[in-house]
Amino acid sequence: MRKLFGLVLIFCMMLTVSAQDEDITTAQDLADENGQFVMVDDVELYYVTEGDNSNPAVILIHGFGGSTFTWRDNISVIADAGYYVVALDLPPFGLSDKSAEISHTREAYADYVVGLMDSLAIERASIVGHSMGGGVTAYLAVTHPERVDKLVFVAGGVASEEMETTETDADASSPLGAFASLDLDPDGMVQIIENTLVPATFASLIESAYYDASIMTDEVIAGYARPIQIDGWANGFVAYWLTEDSDSITLDDFVEAIDVPVLIIWGEEDTWVPISMGFAMNDALDNTILITYPQVGHVPMEETVEAFNSDLIAFLEGN
């Protein structure tokens, strides 16, 4: 998803309107009623919980640009089905840490999730990862297999070597290459997005994630744009963008390490992450279920809420 962030910055540079003055506040002031903060390895994580903590745990991990808000139509339904649901914000997204000094690698993200599990006394959980969160889920499952009951990948996961090669070749001619050629320093990047990225333009950047863009109401736009009200948010985003990630988990690595049930969910009109990744994972693994939704884009948990919740809960229950 760093490629998408590069596109964000290119888009911001082309805007002709200046950012409006936005009220800058703290993450604590924006927290939800059921939201809490916890320190994990000196990193402040924001999370929400719902359900009885003695029930089987389900952890929801958002994708690039997402947050706990991504799961707003799912958390209560899953909890009502008899689960303890935990959704967290990975830094620098949502209301979690915006520091440029912390690690934003997939390995670190997996460790943050495990650290949160430790703080909540969760020994094992079913992990649900969307988009970028799918990569985090895969990393967690390979590096901490003893903490995983079941795995759910939503429009994201583990690429085969063939897909990784194709993506690398494509990056060379993408707008990301043009951005890199400008050789801006971090402070320059921060200034660009601070001065141009407001809720309205933020919305236009994520609109393509949806097959039916009418889902993006004013409420949804405000929910996704909430982090840009927090002091220092741009510093965190730029730090994320500049992070050189640790070696990624390959599909072969994943297949060799995983022996738990896996559910793969994808929108058939996804233009952000190719559905071929889901098919490749399904073909490579033995104990999998693959569900695809027609006329659905990159965020099925928002676009086809009832079907998504029903299919997820059925999988968690073993049906």
Residue 184: closest CA among 197, 196, 193, 171: 193
| Residue with the larger pLDDT of the pair 8 and 174 | 8
Confidence of residue 113 (pLDDT cuts 50, 70, 90): very high
What's the confidence (pLDDT) of residue 188? 66
Tens digit of each residue's pLDDT (9 = 90 or more) over 259-300: 999 999 999 999 999 999 999 999 999 999 999 999 999 999
Q: What percent of the chain has pLDDT over 90?
A: 60
| Distance of alpha carbon 27 from alpha carbon 43, whole angstroms | 14
Longest CA pairwise span in the chain (Å): 53
Lowest mean pLDDT, pick from 21-30, 122-131, 205-214, 308-317: 21-30
Q: Which stretch of 89-93, 153-157, 195-199 has the lowest confidence by average pLDDT?
A: 195-199
User: Is 9 a residue whose pLDDT tops 70?
Assistant: no
- The model's pLDDT over 55-74, given as tens digits with 9 standing for 90+, comes to 999 999 999 889 999 999 99
The whole-model pTM stands at 0.87
Query: 276-281 long-range contacts, Cβ below 8 Å, gap at least 24?
Result: 276/163, 277/156, 277/157, 277/158, 277/159, 277/160, 277/163, 278/153, 278/155, 278/157, 280/159, 280/160, 280/163, 280/251, 281/153, 281/157, 281/158, 281/251, 281/254
pLDDT the model gives residue 178: 40
Q: What integer best gives the mean pLDDT of the chain?
A: 84
Q: Indicate the residue type of 142.
A: V
Other C-beta atoms lying within 10 Å of the C-beta of residue 34? 13
pLDDT at 170: 34
φ, ψ of residue 257 to 5 degrees: the values are -95, -20
